[in-house]
Amino acid sequence: MTDLKTDKFYIDGAWVAPNGGTTEDVINPANEEVIATIAMGTAEDVDAAVAAANRAFATFSETSREERIALLKKILEVYERRYAEMSSIICEELGAPIDLCDKAQTAVGVGHLKATIAALENFEFEHINAEGDLIRREPIGVCGMITPWNWPINQIALKVFPAMAVGCTVVLKPSEVTPLNALLFAEILDEAGVPAGVFNLVNGDGPTVGSALSKHPDIQMMSFTGSTRAGRLITKDAAETVKRVTLELGGKSPNVILDDADLEKSIKQGLAQCFMNSGQSCNAPTRMLVHESQYAEAMSSAAKLAETFEVGQPAEKGPHIGPLVSAVQFEKVQGLIETAIDEGAKTLAGGPGRPAGFNRGYFVRPTVFGEVTNDMTIAQEEVFGPVLVMISYGDDEEAIRIANDTPYGLCAFVQSGDLERAKNVMKRLRAGMVRINGTDIGFGSPFGGYKMSGNGREGGVFGLEDYCEIKAVSMP
Could you tell me if 468 and 138 are in contact, meaning their C-beta atoms sit under 8 angstroms apart?
Answer: yes
pLDDT tens for 314-324 read 999 999 999 99
In this structure, the number of other CB atoms found within 10 A of the CB of residue 464 comes to 22
- Residue type at 271? L
Query: Residue 246 region, left (φ>0) first, then alpha (ψ -120 to 50), else beta?
Result: beta
Domain assignment of residue 87, yes or no: yes
Q: 213 with 90, same domain?
A: yes
Domain assignment of residue 448, yes or no: no
Distance CA 18, CA 236 (A): 27
- Distances in whole angstroms, Cα of residue 267 to Cα of each of 117, 304, 345, 376: 37, 11, 19, 21
What is the crossing angle of helices 65-81 and 180-191, to 10°? 120
Distance CA 356, CA 301 (A): 22
The size of the chain, in residues, is 476
Q: 233 with 344, same domain?
A: no
User: Residue 363 maps to which CATH number?
Assistant: 3.40.309.10
pLDDT tens for 231-290 read 999 999 999 999 999 999 999 999 999 999 999 999 999 999 999 999 999 999 999 999
Q: 176 with 299, same domain?
A: no
Q: What is the pLDDT of residue 1?
A: 62
Domain assignment of residue 1, yes or no: no
Domain assignment of residue 146, yes or no: yes
Q: 258 with 237, same domain?
A: no
| Residues designated catalytic | 248
Tell me the three state secondary structure of residue 167: coil
Domain assignment of residue 295, yes or no: yes
Q: What is the pLDDT of residue 2?
A: 73
Q: What is the pLDDT of residue 352?
A: 98
User: Residue 34 maps to which CATH number?
Assistant: 3.40.605.10
For the chain, residues with pLDDT lower than 50 are none
Q: 408 with 295, same domain?
A: yes
DSSP 100-165: HIIIIITHHHHHHHHHHHHHHHT--SEEE-TTS-EEEEEE--EEEEE--SSSHHHHHHHHHHHHHH
Task: Identify the domain containing residue 236 by its residue range.
Answer: 9-249+453-473
Which ranges of 23-106 does DSSP label H, i.e. alpha helix? 43-60, 65-81, 83-94, 98-100
Tell which residue, 53, 83, 203, has the closest CA to residue 143. Answer: 53
Q: 464 with 439, same domain?
A: no
Could you tell me if 53 and 170 are in contact, meaning their C-beta atoms sit under 8 angstroms apart?
Answer: yes
Q: 165 with 193, same domain?
A: yes
Q: 167 with 265, same domain?
A: no
Domain assignment of residue 2, yes or no: no
Q: 175 with 280, same domain?
A: no
Backbone angles phi, psi at 148, to 5 degrees: -95, 180
Q: 47 with 137, same domain?
A: yes
Backbone angles phi, psi at 429, to 5 degrees: -85, 130
Q: 216 with 321, same domain?
A: no
Q: 297 with 421, same domain?
A: yes
Domain assignment of residue 3, yes or no: no
What is the crossing angle of helices 152-166 and 180-191, to 10°? 30
Domain assignment of residue 399, yes or no: yes
Q: Considering its fold, how many domains does the chain have in total?
A: 2
- Residue type at 473? V
Distance CA 229, CA 250 (A): 9
Tell me the three state secondary structure of residue 373: coil
Q: What is the pLDDT of residue 429?
A: 98
